[in-house]
Amino acid sequence: MRLKWYGTASVLLEQDGTRLLFDPFFPLNKRLFAPPPEEYASADRIFVTHGHLDHIAHIPRILRRGCGAAIYCTAAPRETLIAKGVPAERICLVAPGTVLRSEPFEVRVLKGRHIAPDKRLVLATLLHPRVLLNLRNARYLAKENKACAEAGETVVYDVSAAGKRVLLPGSLNLDEGTLYPEGADLLLLPFQGRSGMADYAMPFIERLRPKKIMLIHFDNTFPPVSRDIKTEPFMARMRESHPDIAIIRPKAGMDWLDAD
């Protein structure tokens, strides 16, 4: 199994010519890598982890590029996509416990939770000068945020193929009552949404015990709400506490990487 990261939480997995696309999004920050629309459109299936705008808002645009993929999501993003003009028959409803088989992939849907921003981060975001510098984005984000509800439906995708397992949480939080698989070959770790991310992330690493971690969602994709997250403190902490777990901080649009 190989994968490519396009920025934010957008990830493409491929095995034996079959492509699964997760949470596709085109960055609002024009200084960042622009994902080629034809690569998004090459997906055989599109999976949505939750209904926030940076995970679903651009799916209609991808479908207009000729993408014939079915879309898999929970109820809230399904309603949002239908409101945005996506035909209901293109959308397959999933829920925790759903198991999907699309050879050579098996995708298990697990209950997740969305990260809860702390007051310090919220205030720092709202009062930062970059809000004035990105007023056009701020207006767009405020409008889309109302339309794109998470509704407590964040999921985790457990993806297996060719003897490898990739764990893809929609946000850096987990459900206390759910048994998650330990020792995944690769954990795709969303790294944004709280102050002190290095400290915040460690209990989740202890719980999941992956063999390798690839950081995602640490980039400033939709300013002024997003920001560039310093990943070095977390990587240093991991080298000290878990030297056996490899850490990847990828570049958007990088070459394909193997999941193992």
Q: List domains and CATH numbers for the chain.
A: 2-254 (3.60.15.10)
Query: 116 — phi, psi (to 5°)?
Result: -105, 110
Q: What secondary structure letter does DSSP report for 180?
A: P
Q: What is the pLDDT along the chain (260 residues), one digit of tens a residue?
A: 999 999 999 999 999 999 999 999 999 999 999 999 999 999 999 999 999 999 999 999 999 999 999 999 999 999 999 999 999 999 999 999 999 998 999 999 999 999 999 999 999 888 899 898 899 999 999 999 999 999 999 999 999 999 999 999 999 999 999 999 999 999 999 999 999 999 999 999 999 999 999 999 999 999 999 999 999 999 999 999 999 999 999 999 988 888 87
Which of 72, 25, 85 minimizes the C-alpha distance to 46?
72
Given this model, what pLDDT does residue 157 score?
98
* CA 62 remoteness from chain centre: 17
Q: Check if the beta carbon of residue 33 is closer than 8 Å to that of residue 6.
A: yes
**Prediction pTM value:** 0.96
Give the bridge partners for 3, in sequence order.
13, 257
Tally the C-alpha atoms within 13 A of residue 32's C-alpha that lie toward its C-beta. 24
pLDDT of residue 260: 77
Q: At what angle do helices 197-208 and 232-241 cross, to 10 degrees?
A: 40
